[in-house]
Amino acid sequence: MRTKLLAAATVLALATTAPAADLQKGTPELQSAASIAFGPNGLMFVGDALGATIYAIDTGDSKPAGDKAVNVEKIDGKIAAALGVTEKDIRVNDVKVNPASGNIYMAVTRGTGNGQPAIVKVTRDGTTEPVSLKDVMFASVKIPNPGKPNQREPLGVITSMVFLDGRLFVAGLSSEEFNSTLRAIPYPFKDADKGTGIQIFHGAHGRLETNAPIKAFTAYKIGKEENIIATYTCTPLVKIPVSELKPGAKVKGTTIAELGNGNQPLDMIAYTKDGKDYLLTANSAHGVLKIPTADFASVTAINAPVKGTEGVKAEKITALTGVKQLDKLDNERAIILVQTNAGLDLKTVPLP
């Protein structure tokens, strides 16, 4: 059965509806900016993990800004200067491309401890500027059953988000029996339900687990079925049918790969190259991995202890090192945030 890329960016590019009429003018009171995602026409979703709230904000950034490559050395210094702090006070939590314009947005924490949240925009000419949240058009929804922030997962209530077909998919920790939770929140917002508890078999640990959050995920269509493809610490790769994400349900995801333990997944995208589909993941220990999707439908599920790697195979992209965040810039290129000895660089690279 052939797999097909469920390209969120393409879905968004084809969307013609304006941001929902439920947006009201005001100033979102963010306590954190853990994750961001984009809907149609420059609508930006910000996951406030500490405030257990998701904001939908009209950026007004909906006109194409050209196709120029974005390459900014020491972007952390430019962010710090824009926010009035030093590079040491900057933590970049997420990087996303606004499909409506092609400009890049960063979710940032400034200061020590919980710090202060900020959203920073990088335009196609490399200009770096903070996004003002004063008197913007926005809506919000509270997460009803958030997990408690802790030292290991300070922003674990919201770890990753993807907007697809009128719903915002949100991964994170809840206070339910299965702490690992996926929520499918319709937009325009009404209320967020308690979400779906996710259980997986972690081959490297040799056991079923329900308490570790999804670290990164993307939407992908296997045959005719929409799936969430998710990755966890140490590093199982799991597929979860979207049709099973029902309020209060408990779902066991199918582990289709063990990519190697002692590793923290950082980010993930799906893309097509030369007629074939792939995932691209950034990792703390394993670098950037390119994962063919052709066997996602047929691979044998991992339900027993694993030493090393097993299941769907991954190729390490040795040319890309120090990658902390990544996103699709267009159909041929990706934007990556790279840690160097001098700081953080924002680069445009060909999709491998």
Note the pLDDT of residue 177.
94
Distance of CA 249 to the CA centre of its chain: 23
Instruction: Report the chain's terminal Cα–Cα distance, integer Å.
Output: 24
Residues in the chain: 352
Q: What is the pLDDT of residues 196-230, one digit of tens each?
A: 999 999 999 999 999 999 999 999 999 999 999 99
pLDDT band at 79 (very low <50, low <70, confident <90, very high): very high
| Residues whose CB falls within 8 Å of the CB of residue 88, separated by 6 or more in sequence, listed in order | none
Alpha helix locations (H) across 158-238?
none
Sign of CA dihedral 242, 248, 254, 258: positive
Among 9-18, 39-48, 343-352, whose mean pLDDT is lowest? Answer: 9-18
pLDDT (tens digit per residue) in 131-174: 999 999 999 999 999 998 776 788 899 999 999 999 999 999 99
- Per-residue pLDDT for 104 more than 70? yes
In DSSP terms, which residues pair with 326 in a beta bridge?
336
Cβ-Cβ contacts under 8 Å for 73 (sequence gap 6 or more): 342, 345
The answer to whether residue 19 scores a pLDDT higher than 70 is no
Q: What is the pLDDT of residue 83?
A: 95
pLDDT at 65 over 50: yes
Bridge partners of 118? Answer: 108
**For the chain, domain boundaries:** 3-350
CATH of domain 3-350: 2.130.10
